[in-house]
Amino acid sequence: MIELQDIKKGFGDKQVLKGVSATMEAGKVSLIIGSSGSGKTVLMKCIVGLMGVDEGKVLYNEQDFTAMNDQDKKTVRQEIGMLFQGSALFDSMTVEQNVMFPLDMFGVGSYKEKKKRVMECLDRVNLKDAARKFPAEISGGMKKRVGIARAIVLNPKYLFCDEPNSGLDPQTSLLIDKLIKELTVEYNITTVINTHDMNTVMESGDHIIYMYQGLKQWEGSNEEIIFSNDERLNDFIFASDFLRDAKEMRQMEMFRDKNWRDRLKKEPPAGEK
């Protein structure tokens, strides 16, 4: 579990994060969404420690990461896997060497054991056949999957994904979302995704944090987002007529289900009255 307590971060005169608190639970996918400049990338960098916070605390399983010394931070970081926007694969290494790198660096097991683990991870992301290829020889979607394999090779407790679907076609995006969701549940990982992709929001968002101008504007699940009355959130998520229509259709569909109606305790949508 990751807990954020009143995180503040500024650059010069500009306050980017103005006090963000949230809790991200294990086995669930937490999404940070928001328009460009809302502070979501800075928030993610603060959580993983690539940027220091000005005020507030980041707790990993109740341990204050922001107050740790470098050695303790290193220990926590070995439990973190991260998928970067551009995949951040090492160009001079093959897919197999990229995934093996964390195992080599932290001397986990013999070469045979390491190779077995790498193949398991590559198999998990359906890339066993691409093991000997270089990053330059594979597609964007494959690079993302290699990034995921590298992120999970050390069995992390926390998985961070920065824009996992950027530059991918809708079908590949769904595949990546599905994979991340499956891994989160399978290994009980605390997953945090920073995204703009509305498919990801609707398909994987167990827990969604909507950022607006450095503050947490809204928090809830992908089911609750359908019935949210927050204007800023609705303008951001359902920006086009097509998406607004889709939202209404989903609302009606959900309202017809009695379990949903009871859970949400909402008024019926206009079309259902």
Partner 1 sequence: MEFRFFYHFGAYLLMLKGMFSKPENPKMYWKQFMQQCVDIGVGSLGIVFIISLFMGGVTTLQTAYQLVSPIIPKATIAQITRDTIILEFAPTLTSIVLAGVVGSKIASELGNMRISEQIDALEIMGINTRGYLVMPKILAALLTIPCLVIIAGFLGIWGGKFAGVAAGIISNDEFIQGLRQELKIYNIFFALSKSYTFAFIISSVSAYYGYNVQGGALEIGKASTTAVVVSCVLILFSDYALSAILL
Interface of this chain with partner 1, residues 109 to 148, rule: CB under 8 A: none
DSSP state of 93: S
Binding mask 39-68 for partner 1 (x = CB under 8 A): ---------xxx------------------
Residue of 102, 164, 214, 269 interacting with partner 1 (CB under 8 A) = 102
Q: Cα dist. 65→2, 54, 139, 152, 186 in Å? A: 10, 13, 36, 21, 26
Angle of CA points 133, 136, 140, to nearest 5°: 100
Please give the Cα distance from 147 to 174 (Å, whole number): 16
Instruction: Give how many residues touch partner 1 by CB under 8 A.
Output: 27
Give yes or no for a contact between 270 and 249, defined as CB atoms under 8 angstroms apart: no
76/125 with CB nearer partner 1: 76
For 207-241, give the DSSP string: EEEEEETTEEEEEE-TTGGGG---HHHHHHHT-SH
Q: Segment contacting partner 1 (CB under 8 A): 97-105, 138-146, 179-187, 206-214?
A: 97-105
107/258 with CB nearer partner 1: 107
> Radius of gyration (Cα) for the chain, nearest Å?
20
CB of 79 to partner 1, least distance (A): 9
Interface of this chain with partner 1, residues 167 to 226, rule: CB under 8 A: none
157/216 with CB nearer partner 1: 157
- Which position has the token pair 């070995």? 78
Q: Cα dist. 85→12, 23, 44, 165 in Å? A: 26, 23, 12, 8
Residue of 26, 88, 174, 198 interacting with partner 1 (CB under 8 A) = 88
Q: Segment contacting partner 1 (CB under 8 A): 84-92, 115-123, 222-230, 234-242?
A: 84-92
- Positions touching partner 1 (CB under 8 A) are 48-50, 70, 73-78, 80-82, 84-86, 88-91, 101-102, 104-107, 160
